[in-house]
Structure 1
Amino acid sequence: MAEPPDVDMLAAALRRDSADLRLYVAVLATNLADSLPPGAVRVKRRRSLAERMAGREGAVTELDVALGERRLLLRMDRDGRATGEVCHEVRGIVLSRRPVGLDEWIDALARSLSEAATANARAREAAERFLS
């Protein structure tokens, strides 16, 4: 079995482009949805009338990543602030919720991706994509 990616390197790679938070969340949502198994990532968006008319997807309002027994939620408010939540979930039942800041959310995502990479080829590819 392949060795999991280094969690600190993965967290640094995930943090790399977080200066523009709205763009960062949109790119992260797209990359995770493309890289992880189907159903592991759910993205909610808010679309203005202009965005609908232009055929654009709209702004990400919530990113929900489920990896193993961990569910990571990242919500964007209208002012561009992010709030994170790390949940322990078993068989669809949330056993615990913990609000976290963006840095802690990214660390939890990096740990979850690293753990999933040991058992899942698509998760390993997602981790490698962020490291390259």
Structure 2
Amino acid sequence: MPDMEVELLAAALRQDSADLNLYAEVLSANLVDSLPPGAVRIKRRRSVTDRLAGREGSVAELDVTLGEQRLSLRMEGGRVAGEICHEVRGIVLSRRRADLGEWIEALARSLAEAAATNARAREAVRRFLA
């Protein structure tokens, strides 16, 4: 995928990132719907109010695995911590922290690479660009 399309994808992924909780909810829902089963794992934090109201709770962690890259995003008290890992057969070979902007760029690149060979990933890219 040309760099210009990756930049457009990153811009689309960056939309609405000002409200981190809303961003995490929308992004996780779109990724789960668009990527192959097992590529996205979501951990939620449920308050007592969420439990009583039957709500799922807010996204606490989002892990996206595409090829040999695992991208983790953790939400903690209105702050976000990103991590980019190179992982082969479940073994983490490298790990580095990333701010939200860098994490989004890495996700855009991983989605673009996966779109070259996977129909569901291509559909995910189309959804984010639409």
Whether the TM-score (by the shorter chain) exceeds 0.5 is: yes
Aligned to 1:12: 11
What is the letter of the counterpart of residue 6 of structure 1?
Answer: E
Q: Tell me: higher relative CO, structure 1 or 2? Use CA pairs within 8 A at least 6 residues apart.
A: 1
Query: What CA distance in whole angstroms lies between the structure 2 residues aligned with 1:83 and 1:48?
Result: 21
Q: Which TM-score applies when normalising by structure 2?
A: 0.96
Aligned to 2:70: 71
Q: Number of residues paired by the alignment?
A: 129
Aligned to 1:130: 128
Aligned to 2:81: 83
Aligned to 1:51: 50
Query: Considering only aligned residues, what root-mean-square deviation do their CA atoms show, in Å?
Result: 1.2
Q: What is the Cα deviation at residue 49 of structure 1?
A: 1.4
Aligned to 1:106: 104
Q: Does 1:94 align with 2:92?
A: yes
Q: Structure 1 stretch 27-36 or stretch 5-14: which is displaced more?
A: 5-14
Q: Structure 1 stretch 46-55 or stretch 81-90: which is displaced more?
A: 46-55
Q: SS where residue 6 of structure 1 aligns?
A: helix
Q: What is the Cα deviation at residue 17 of structure 1?
A: 1.2
Percent identity (aligned): 71
Structure 1, gaps ≥5 residues long: none
